Chains A and B, each alone.
Chain A
């Protein structure tokens, strides 16, 4: 078979690929250098037509970015802790663990004090001006505190309509979504229940597409 025959066969194969076995296709496209070159050229011609049409396509970059960002939420780096290069791997996570434990420990003390203060208020309504020294005298067993609720919690790719009600419940608040679309927005967000609701909302507002406000006992999401 000469080169011209090879090339004719290639055109025929392009018209009807199923008439050729995989091996026959490979032989046609590999055995004759000139025919292989002709096929490469044919591929390029087809691409040139695709390019012609691709140039006419309207591409909505803004829409594409919003869709991508909602599926792959990325936090702004400036709001995250920075570590030096040696501070990696197990050491980093060990340190994080220690920090979390310390924070939890501190929060136990704070909550114990708050709970105790509330108890004193209930028992002695007239003694609201009592000195803090009274509070410090009370010792509450640490084991009695629910520690799990106090640890930071990570919502990984969780829709807002699931994430926010849980956060709101912790602060005794309710969530109102002003649009259906925003309910489906998925975020990667680490929530620290020890932080105030104002601080949590500030953090949420760092996401570009999110606008969260406080109104009385409601968390309003636009």
Chain B
């Protein structure tokens, strides 16, 4: 058994009750945000737990809000992505450059919901092609085989869909 022989005080640690309250109130939201930003669920969980682990070393809870925690999760996820090589980044549809930090996490998630709304309103075959490419993760060649469309046509629908979403978001902002 380890015996350090010293009287170690943890006076600089956040109170357990406060930590538990913060955890219970925010864990789900933080996990969902991390799961949106990262492909791997275990990586997402690690990021969230790392944020709470750092909280245990904080002296005061005064500055800890849901916004603070969500921003910490975003930073944590970006750090995970930054450590990956370019091939892994594009394979998992990660940003390869720094993101606009002016968006709050809540705004970010609202915008994603708006994108899904836009996709749901797409006509066929655009809607199905988006689902096959982004959700089922088929390649464009596989989609072409599946839909009996040419590769060029699949490209066209994907590009059109992206333009449609961009236009929709721009209209929402203005």
Contact = CB atoms under 8 A, between A and B. Distances in A.
Interface of A: 4, 7-8, 11-18, 20, 22, 25-26, 29-30, 37-55, 57, 59, 61-62, 64-65, 68-69, 72, 74-78, 80-83, 92, 96-97, 100, 148, 151-154, 156, 158, 162-163, 166, 188, 190, 208
A30 B139 CA distance: 23
A92 B11 CA distance: 11
B116 A75 contact: no
Given A17-B91, A47-B112, A76-B15, A154 B6 contact: yes
Given A46-B93, A156-B2, 19 more contacts: A4-B159, A12-B140, A14-B90, A25-B87, A42-B162, A45-B115, A48-B112, A48-B113, A51-B113, A53-B35, A59-B27, A62-B24, A65-B27, A74-B14, A77-B16, A97-B7, A163-B1, A188-B10, A208-B16
B13 interface: yes
A45 B119 contact: yes
A188 B90 CA distance: 43
B146 interface: no
A162 B1 contact: yes
Given A25-B96, A151-B5, A11 B140 contact: yes
How many of chain B's residues touch chain A, expressed as a range? 35 or more
Contact of B1 (A18, A75, A78, A166): A166
Contact of B165 (A13, A45, A59, A151): A45
A52 B165 contact: no
A80 B31 contact: no
Interface string B75-86: 000000000011
A25 B27 contact: no
Contacts of B53: 72
A69 B52 CA distance: 10
Interface string B91-125: 10111110000000000010111011001000000
A74 B12 CA distance: 11
Contacts of B23: 61, 64-65, 68
B72 interface: no
A69 B14 CA distance: 13
Interface in B1-50: 1-11, 13-17, 19-20, 23-24, 27-28, 31-32, 35-37, 39, 49
Given A45-B165, A74-B16, A81 B11 contact: yes
Contacts of B11: 80-83
7 contacts: A39-B96, A41-B165, A47-B112, A74-B56, A81-B9, A154-B6, A162-B1
Contacts of A152: 7
